[in-house]
Amino acid sequence: MLPFIRSDLSQLTAYIPHSQDSLDSVDSVGAKQESELLVVDRLDTNESPYDLPDELKQELGWALQDVIKSNRYPDGGHYALKQAIADYVNESAGLTHSPLTASHISLGNGSDELIRSILIATCLRSEGSILVADPTFSMYGILAQTLGIPVVHVTRSPDTFAIDLQAAQIAITQPQQLPVRVVFVVHPNSPTGNALTTAEVAWLKALPNNILVVIDEAYFEFSQTTLASEIQHHPNWVILRTFSKAFRLAAYRVGYAIAHPQIASVLEKVRLPYNLPSISQVAAQFALTHRQKLLQTIPQILQERDTFITTLQQQPLLKVWQSQANFVFTVPVSETPGFAEIIFQSLNRQGTAIRCISGGLRITIGTPTENSRTLHRLIHIVGSTPLPSAMPSNA
């Protein structure tokens, strides 16, 4: 380790996007070259399987050409985009009275930057720790570790993935290290796809105002379940959303936070200047203008998801859960050690990239062709494995 680098960073590993990593993990060079000739189904990062329609892509290209001056910095305050987002949030949450305004919005270069800004604003200088319920989105813990912030882990029910609220409450009221300053939850959760329960929402509402509650709604457009209206009643809440999933703009890296104006102003203080390129701001505004057309694919994705789940539930070696997002989580049940990893690697070699995480497999819903191909490969792999002596019931 270099002598001028923080000693704790030696324990961390750089984040490697799985879509790129998938092909690199193939065993031999020959197999890798053969794999690269296959159709690669990118079902590992929960993106939309659909690019922008050709006519909209062409229209966006003209918009970018007309608006952007390459020699000028982007709009550092994101004023026009903030207002457009506020209008969309009000519409999506049904807020006709006392609607949210641009002052409730802060923008990030992806939601990851907003998570990092939240951590910087709350827990640095040994002022606090964060609480997460595993399994969940890994970047909360990863970003906290890069900043030297302690992470308190609680578990979820192995049957329903509901948060162990008793353990979470003890972690807050009886801290072992630094007090919990931030609670991170995903609604619906990744990788498991379950939405917050009534009991979990009630617990979040009951948390004291000296704890920041961050509710990640990255998959809102698929779940159509939001807590955005609660921002007006809970000044210690932040809701995160993104343009990377349903809006098909993963390449542009636009995330946004919905929060009380005081919190939003703090996030503005700690973010980097000119953090969102002009091209990203124009693309996000363009997507909101054309949201009716861009979101038309959601019913098809949800139907494909339900068909995917129904098909997997017919496999006795796969325990499958319902999902309110654009992905499916399944845990292989087998006496074969590392069966999930075996499936993951086998699918990789055949050209299907998925996530192997938390002892299970998270599979993004793709196009009908991708889904059919993935199901065929997955069922073939599972079908060649002998049944274990004791079989649990499927979910």
**pLDDT of 68:** 86
Cα–Cα distances in angstroms (integers) from residue 189 to residues 38, 145, 186, 201, 359, in the given order: 32, 21, 4, 13, 16
pLDDT at site 23: 45
Would you state the structure tokens that stand for residue 174, as one six-digit string?
Answer: 């009886």
Residue 31 has a pLDDT of 45
Q: How many CB atoms lie within 10 A of CB 330?
A: 27
Neighbours of 382 (CB within 10 A): 20
Q: According to the model, what pLDDT value does residue 20 have?
A: 47
Q: Give the separation between CA 124 and CA 110, rounded to whole angstroms.
A: 21
Residue 373: enclosing H or E segment and its boundaries? helix 368-383
Task: Give the integer Cα–Cα distance in Å for 368 and 131.
Answer: 38
- Token pair, residue 196, equals 């917050």
Looking at residue 246, its pLDDT comes to: 97
Residues 6+ apart with CB under 8 A from 50: 248, 297, 367
Q: What is the pLDDT of residue 65?
A: 87
* Cis peptide leading into residue 188 (ω within 30°): yes
- The helix/strand/coil state of 250 is helix
| pLDDT at site 389 | 54
Residues of the chain scoring pLDDT < 50: 19-36
Residues 70/204, Cβ–Cβ less than 8 Å: no
The pLDDT, as a whole number, for residue 107 is 98
pLDDT of residue 104: 97
